[in-house]
Amino acid sequence: MKRTFYIAAVFIASLTLSGCGDGVELPALNVETDLDKIPLPEDQTGLEEIQLKPESEPFKHGDDGVYALHTQEDFDRIRERLHLDTDNTGNSGESPWKEGYVPLRDNNLARKVTTMNCTATPEIVRGAYGEYKDNYMNAAHAAARAYQLGLRWKIEKDDEYAQAAVELLNSWASTTTAIIGNSNKSLAAGIYGYQFAIAGEILRTYDGWAPEDFKKYQDWMLNLWYPENKSFLEYHHGANDLHYWANWGLCNVASTMAIGILTDRRDIYNEGVTHFQIGKTNGRLSRAIYHDFPGTNYAQLQESGRDQGHTLMCVGLLGIICQLTYNQGDDFFAYKDNLFLKACEYAAAYNYAMKEDLPFVTYVWQKQGPHGIEPISQEVLGAGGRGDNRPILALPYYHYLKIKEIPESRMENIKIGIDKLFPEGGGNNYGPNSGGYDALGFGTLMYAR
């Protein structure tokens, strides 16, 4: 299923890689060498399907029943299904909410006092260099903790959780003034940026968050995090547009959108929406989801030939973006005939249904080397990290099944994944390393309907 543009890209790869020992031996051809002129699948229309809302249109916030990824309806449903009005433990609740509540209720980060290091640091360092050592896990813990405490506050109606979260966020906004490191600092800016913004949005209606402190927090997100997101999406450390893998662009798109919502900056949110549709990086939706296989329910992700840990990370980030925008009236779940659903089904088929006969089109990674672009051809699915346990599928599964009312027969592989990953936790439920904090998690509890 390799089309002309893929073949052209492979020829370009052969010209650049000759002598590099990769085994590709193709004749030098007079083919297009400007990567921006090589047609990609999504360039066949070039149309923006989601129209930008005017900057004068206000966002939906807590007073409107919207809390970033979640709504008041969600929180009311969860309380009802957990029977919290009659049993504050949730033990007598209904499935799957009962099982989904346990990882949150028992999580070390979600307690009023935690033993995990969430202390604010003057600089967030990801990509150690010189005298600076990596310390970004403090930020990962803090963002996850603030989110989890926010959920417990809204579900259990206990202000002590909100107070603990607000004190944590105030501390970071008062202490941290820089995000530094090598290029990996852009991962910190994107991942923890969207998570800190979402946590702040959940807590914005807490009466105990002083207006001046909330304004300081908004300014912190706007002045520290957003410039880092914008810099990556526009300049990506001087590399060509397609050098960085999709997860880099996606996390910075998510952060841009979340910060726009938190700070009531429609222009910033619109930057995220625009990049998600027609941006140059692999954070563009129709580049992050690289190929839609005609006549199937599958769509290949840009990182599918790299490894599965990063592929699944992309699925999670795409879900965050779709959910954030859906709650603001922009439906990327339905974008390009439910393209995200097809990507989820493809990833689940390989990782959880363990299917071996999946279609795959050649992907040529445009690696930026010291002497220019060094294309690397990927011909098969990357097996590294296959079957990783990540809390990413409940969000799309319940949206497409219960809101879009798409038959479960179109999600047979996702359903297998749902069962294998059940129930979805978050943060330290997935180990001590950064990968466990790439997604906020708790999808079983928050999205089941």
Distance CA 268, CA 440 (A): 22
Cis before 423 (ω within 30): yes
Instruction: For the chain, give the number of residues.
Output: 449
pLDDT at 24 over 90: no
For the ranges 39-53, 152-166, 192-206, 410-424, the lowest mean pLDDT is seen at: 39-53
Q: For position 47, what pLDDT does the model report?
A: 55
Q: Is-contact 14 25, C-beta < 8 A?
A: yes
Give residues with Cβ within 8 angstroms of 123, minimum separation 6: 132, 135, 176, 177, 178, 179, 180
In degrees rounded to 5, what are phi and psi of residue 241? -60, -30
Question: What would the pLDDT profile of 382-439 be if each residue is shown by its tens digit?
Answer: 999 999 999 999 999 999 999 999 999 999 999 999 999 999 999 999 999 999 999 9
Give the per-residue pLDDT at 366.
Answer: 97
DSSP run (H or E) holding 413 = helix 412-421
The confidence score (pLDDT) of residue 15 equals 36
Integer Cα distance of 351 and 208 in angstroms: 44
Give the contacts of 31 (CB within 8 A, at least 6 positions apart).
8, 11, 12, 15
Task: Return the half-sphere exposure (C-beta side, CA atoms, 13 A cut-off) of residue 210.
Answer: 5
% of the chain exceeding 90 in pLDDT: 87
Count of other CB atoms within 10 angstroms of residue 303: 26
**Region label for 127, one of left (φ > 0), alpha (ψ between -120 and 50) or beta (otherwise):** left
Query: Which neighbouring-strand residues pair with 369?
Result: 372
**What pTM was estimated for this model as a whole?**
0.90
Q: What is the pLDDT of residues 254-289, one digit of tens each?
A: 999 999 999 999 999 999 999 999 999 999 999 999
Maximum Cα–Cα distance across the chain: 74
Average pLDDT over the chain, rounded to an integer: 91
The DSSP symbol for 428 reads: G
More confident residue, 222 or 16: 222
Q: Six-digit token pair at 259? A: 């910060």
Structural contact between residues 192 and 139, judged by C-beta atoms closer than 8 angstroms: yes
Q: How many other CB atoms are found less than 10 A from the CB of residue 20?
A: 12
Whether the CB-CB separation of 144 and 195 falls below 8 Å is answered with yes
Percent of the chain whose pLDDT exceeds 70: 90
pLDDT at 4 over 60: no
Q: Are 55 and 270 in contact (CB under 8 A)?
A: yes
- The per-residue pLDDT for 99 is 98
30 pLDDT higher than 50 = no
What pLDDT, on the 0 to 100 scale, is given for residue 48? 75
Compute φ and ψ for 222, nearest 5 degrees: -75, -40
DSSP 129: B
Q: What is the pLDDT of residues 295-343, one digit of tens each?
A: 999 999 999 999 999 999 999 999 999 999 999 999 999 999 999 999 9
Q: Give pLDDT, residue 254.
A: 99
List, as own/partner pairs, every contact residues 300-304 make where C-beta atoms lie below 8 angstroms and the sequence separation is at least 24, other chains included: 300/343, 300/346, 300/359, 300/360, 300/361, 300/363, 301/246, 301/343, 301/346, 301/347, 302/245, 302/246, 302/363, 303/245, 303/246, 303/247, 303/382, 304/346, 304/347, 304/350, 304/360, 304/363, 304/381, 304/382
CA distance 66 to 240: 38
Q: What is the pLDDT of residue 407?
A: 97
With a cut of 90, say whether residue 32 has pLDDT above it: no
Alpha carbons within 13 angstroms on the beta-carbon side of residue 367 total: 14
State the average pLDDT over residues 122-149.
97
